Amino acid sequence: MAPVIGVTATLKEDVDAVAERPLGRYVRADLDYLEGVVEAGGVPVVLPPVADSGAAETIAGGLDGLLLSGGSDLHPGYYGEDPIPELNVTIPERDAFEMELMEHALRRGIPVLGICRGMQVLNVALGGTLYQDLSSQMEGIVLLGHRQETPKWQPTHEVEVDGGSQVSEIMGSRELKVNSYHHQAVKDLASGLVTVAHSPDGVAEAVEYRDLSERWILGVQWHAEAMRGSSPEHRKLFSAHVEAAERHALRRAAA
Ligand code: MN
């Protein structure tokens, strides 16, 4: 059986541009994540961020893997800070759902891949903090363009990956060219996590979990899902996640 990978979705408010009236709120999942999972041999299920408390536990019970997708800022209250003026829009339902889901995913040892916001969510869920806004809070360096305006499939900055890391093993390279669509980033790393890739200006671009358990948790700051066509090596992240989910499903079946 192919492993079931839960992919988090977002909420969007649609507006009728002509009549300028709200059309309602919709659950939206970027097809690129879902196709990335399918290509890797997994079965994606979209997880709507509308669940009541308690549902996240049931949902986690049905997953072999969890993919935390990109999106809006995580509310800084989850790491004990008040919002600064440079914070962008947050979606309370999504933040609450993903943080609860992470708690149950961690408890169950479900392999987690975090992409962009997803890497930030997993760091906070494990006890870390974020830069609410890189350009106003990360001092002393010249920031690269982490918020590109070119198409999403185009790389915009380089990333240096630590040798011996899972990310270098998965990608088969220590030098990557990646896209960049973020104004937040990992600040204080959660215990258990290791930063394994940096952009030349020192921003954390990938993290992975290392402890004595075989827990598979990996986050990348770039949108790997959008680079699958232009730079196929980024598909390997999805493959590694699906393989970890397969191993987890086998362990679960044997238990
Ligand atoms: Mn970047």
From ligand 1's centre to the CA of 181, what distance in Å?
Answer: 7
**Which phi and psi angles does 149 have, rounded to 5°?**
-110, -5
115 vs 71: CA distance, rounded Å: 9
From ligand 1's centre to the CA of 128, what distance in Å?
Answer: 19
Q: How many domains does the chain have?
A: 1
- Please report the pLDDT score of residue 146 as a whole number: 84
String of DSSP letters for 94-129: HHHHHHHHHHHHHHHT--EEEETHHHHHHHHHTT--
**Of the listed 157, 183, 223, 234, which one is catalytic?**
223
Q: Which amino acid is at 60?
A: A
Nearest to 217 by CA among 192, 198, 199, 235: 192
116 in catalytic set: yes
What CATH number does residue 12 fall under? 3.40.50.880
Nearest to 172 by CA among 243, 116, 239, 80: 239
pTM of the model: 0.95
Encoding tokens for residue 95?
A: 């933040």
For residue 189, give the 3-state DSSP assignment.
coil
241 in catalytic set: no
243 in catalytic set: no
110 vs 220: CA distance, rounded Å: 17
What is the DSSP pairing of strand 21-28 with strand 10-16? antiparallel
- Please report the pLDDT score of residue 22 as a whole number: 82
Residue 40: domain span: 4-254
**Of the listed 75, 98, 100, 116, which one is catalytic?**
116
- Please report the pLDDT score of residue 144 as a whole number: 74
- What string of pLDDT tens digits covers the 255 residues of the chain? 899 999 999 999 888 888 888 888 999 999 999 999 999 999 999 999 977 778 999 999 999 999 999 999 999 999 999 999 999 999 999 999 999 999 999 999 999 999 999 999 999 999 999 999 998 898 766 667 788 888 999 999 999 999 999 999 999 999 999 999 999 999 999 999 999 999 999 999 999 999 777 799 999 999 999 999 999 999 999 999 999 999 999 998 888
From ligand 1's centre to the CA of 210, what distance in Å?
Answer: 23
